[in-house]
Amino acid sequence: MASPLEQFEIRPLVPLSFGGMDISYTQSALWMTIAVITATLFLTLSMRNRSLVPGRWQNAAEMLYEFIAGMVRDNLGKEGQKYFPFVFSVFMIVLMGNLLGMVPYSFTYTSHIVVTASLALMVFLGATLIGILRHGLHFFSLFMPAGVPIFMAPLIVPIEIISYLSRPLSLSVRLFVNMMAGHTMLKVFAGFSVAMGIILGVMPLVLNIALIGLEVMIAFIQAYVFTVLTCVYLKDAIELH
């Protein structure tokens, strides 16, 4: 029987190499392309009619938009409105990755730490750059909390810097672990079904149905968590207490 981890194997579809580097178009890249196309088609086609009383599709698109718009408004305030396109794009690419991963025979690109770490680093470096551009060197006062006596600085500053640097790690690991663990679990229970035969195999199958529901919920929750933390990090850079 196939290993439950086999689903995470990267398979090149179009072998390419550039300057000795392997840049093959893999099934992971294929599903990222599908995610971008799906998200674009979903958002543009559902908003094509722009009716005052939204239909089902338009309602879904508007709900997503308002969900993120509200999150940006709550966290970043008026000044953060210009970061909305970025936050919404991050949300859609993570959500699409998680949800398309639930389609049978598909590939979950968010279950690879290289993908989530790239996303998290982009958010982290972006937020840091925005902070430095907005506040200049004053940005580094982030690492020296107000009201701390100066002789504590040699201890507090390294701790705050490590705490700051641990953000992209925990951000990427959280998403990757949730996705990988969930999909491994589904595969393990599906394997039980096969191994236990037709009659007893129904039990893991029933459990798997419940787990798929749970996984769809986790797909939404993790996309939400990733986006909320993106907002929080941007907020730190913008407001700088």
Cβ 109 to other proteins, closest distance in Å?
A: 21
x/- mask, other proteins, residues 74-103, rule CB under 8 A, reads x-----------------------------
Cβ 31 to other proteins, closest distance in Å?
A: 26
Is the CB of 85 or the CB of 145 nearer to other proteins? 145
Tell me if 150 contacts other proteins by CB under 8 A: no
Cβ 169 to other proteins, closest distance in Å?
A: 4
Tell me if 149 contacts other proteins by CB under 8 A: no
For the chain, the three-class secondary structure string (H helix, E strand, C coil) is CCCCCHHHCCCEEECCEECCEECCEEHHHHHHHHHHHHHHHHHHHHCCCCCCCCCHHHHHHHHHHHHHHHHHHHHHCHHHHHHHHHHHHHHHHHHHHHHHCCCCCCCCHHHCHHHHHHHHHHHHHHHHHHHHHHHHHHHHHHHCCCCCCHHHHHHHHHHHHHHHHHHHHHHHHHHHHHHHHHHHHHHHHHHHHHHCHHHHCHHHHHHHHHHHHHHHHHHHHHHHHHHHHHHHHHHHHHHCC
Q: Which of residues 161-200 bind other proteins (CB under 8 A)?
A: 162-167, 169-170, 173-174, 177
User: What Å distances lie between residue 211 and 69, 205, 216, CA to CA?
Assistant: 30, 10, 9
Is the CB of 118 or the CB of 170 nearer to other proteins? 170
Q: Which of residues 208-237 bind other proteins (CB under 8 A)?
A: 224, 228-229, 232, 236
x/- mask, other proteins, residues 58-77, rule CB under 8 A, reads ------------x---x---
Q: By CB under 8 A, name the one of 15, 77, 85, 145 that touches other proteins.
A: 145
Is the CB of 129 or the CB of 162 nearer to other proteins? 162
Q: By CB under 8 A, name the one of 19, 20, 104, 147 that touches other proteins.
A: 147
Nearest to 234 by CA among 66, 77, 63, 68: 77
- Say if residues 76 and 231 touch (Cβ distance below 8 Å): yes
Tell me if 15 contacts other proteins by CB under 8 A: no
Is the CB of 215 or the CB of 236 nearer to other proteins? 236
How many residues at the interface with other proteins, by CB under 8 A?
A: 29
Backbone φ and ψ for 23, nearest 5 degrees, come out as -120, 35
Q: Could you list the residues that contact other proteins (CB under 8 A)?
A: 70, 74, 142-143, 145-148, 155, 158-160, 162-167, 169-170, 173-174, 177, 224, 228-229, 232, 236, 241
